[in-house]
Each structure stands twice: as C-alpha cells, then as structure tokens.
Amino acid sequence: MVDTGTGPLPAYTETLPRRPESARCARRMVGLALGVWDLDGLRDAAEIVVSELLANAIQHARRESVRLTVTRLGDTRVRVAVVDLSRTHPVRRSAGSDDESGRGLDIVDALSRGQWGVDSMRWGKRVWADLVFEETTGE
C-alpha cells in the first residue's frame, strides 16, 4: 500500500538491480498487479511503459538499484513509476529514422496520452506514467 496523504492506495513495489535483465522482472510484476486488479486490458501498454522507464534509468542513473512501483489510482487508472538516485531529468529528443535509441519517452507519452512526468526528490527522481483502461464496445 502507498499512503498518499488521502489514504492508502493498493500498490506493488520492488527494488531491482540496475541491469537490463531487470526489465523481465519489472514486466512480470506489472502484469501480476494488473491481473490482481482485473485490469489486464492495460497489460501490453504497461509492460512497454515500464520497459522504457526502466531502460532510461538503467542507462542514465547512478547506483546499483532502482525502485519500481505500480499503484492503482482508481477503478481504471494505474501509475507505473521508476525511482532512481540521479537528479538528472529525462529529456525527450527527436530520433532520426536510423537512430537506435531516443524514442522511449515518445512511446511513454503516446501510451499514457501525455499523462507522465518527473517528481524531483532530494536524493533523486521518480519518473511516472499513468495509464487508463477504457473499455471498448464491440460494435
């Protein structure tokens, strides 16, 4: 549970090594949380978002670990966040068609519909993205 000052919210959190192999564990944890909360419709988007946020932390952060949190913010809203010990904020950049990197935050922005951000902390930062499950009708 995460206490936001307005009461506790259901959440899963885990400290992971700052290594590329941690992405698999992060995706698994996100999928588990969404399954428990009956929000499986967010699974694909959330797994991509956590992979991108984690990749940025792995590439640019300091220290040996990062903290992953998946928080249920309401009936259909989930926040995926990665905390690291670097105060340097991520920067969106334009990637050329031949570039192998530089698209991660654009992907996060698209999947979260612009609902993402960075919270500065005394010792680092939290990069988060909110995802909303919208049921579609089969017409």
C-alpha distance from residue 102 to each of 67, 72, 90, 92 (Å):
23, 29, 11, 7
Which tens digit of pLDDT belongs to each residue from 53-103? 999 999 888 889 999 999 999 899 999 999 999 998 887 777 656 655 556
Domain that holds residue 64: 8-94+102-132
Query: Residue 42: pLDDT above 60?
Result: yes
Give the global pTM. Answer: 0.86
Q: Is residue 1 part of a domain?
A: no
The CATH number given to whatever domain includes residue 66 is 3.30.565.10
Q: Is residue 139 part of a domain?
A: no
Q: Is residue 24 part of a domain?
A: yes
pLDDT of 17: 96
- Name residues whose C-beta falls within 8 Å of residue 46's C-beta, 6 or more positions apart in sequence: 30, 31, 34, 70, 78, 80, 131
Which tens digit of pLDDT belongs to each residue from 112-131? 999 999 999 998 999 999 99
Domain count within the chain: 1
Q: Is residue 3 part of a domain?
A: no
C-alpha distance from residue 126 to each of 42, 57, 87, 116 (Å):
21, 10, 9, 11
DSSP 3-state of 85:
coil
Q: Is residue 73 part of a domain?
A: yes
